[in-house]
Amino acid sequence: MLDLNVLGVSICTREALRLMFKDGVDDGHIININSVVGHFINDIADTHFYSATKHMITALTKALNAELRQKKTKIRVTSISPGITETPLMSRLGEGNDKFKIGDWSGFLKGKDIADAVLYVVGAPPHVNIRELTIAEIGFAGC
């Protein structure tokens, strides 16, 4: 989980920035897919390490924004933090584990909702940097 959620994001970000700087791109955009649990501690102990990795993404995104502002670049960085999203992973977590049973998925986020959020962020005017976008299903009472 640490390798995928923190190191993988960090390495991909580093390489994307290297390519942008090498090619003279000064108006690129890096989007980190985070989670709402990257902004608060939930009460499900089995998810605390996952939440900790997502808190790292929150911190890394903020730090990268600060670093890029110091370099006077126009490269934008956004953390998109979805709530519960219908994915094959969430379905598998629910198999045999009552803590993760979702049941009816109708009220939860879909992959298209997250894709639409990415399009919204990259469609913002060049002088606008949406640093954090939190997306939650209507019934979510967390952060």
The mean pLDDT values, 10 residues at a time, for the chain of 143 residues are 96 98 97 96 87 97 98 97 82 59 71 97 97 88 63
Residue 119 tokens read as 């399009």
Question: Domain limits of the chain?
Answer: 2-135
Exactly one of 10, 13, 50, 100 is catalytic; name it.
Answer: 50
User: Could you tell me the CA-to-CA distances from 108 to 9, 50, 85, 114 in Å, in that order?
Assistant: 25, 20, 6, 12
pLDDT in tens, 42-59: 888 888 999 999 999 999
Is residue 120 part of the annotated active site? The answer reads no
CATH of domain 2-135: 3.40.50.720
pLDDT at residue 12, rounded to an integer: 97
Q: Which residue has the tokens 């939930």?
A: 42
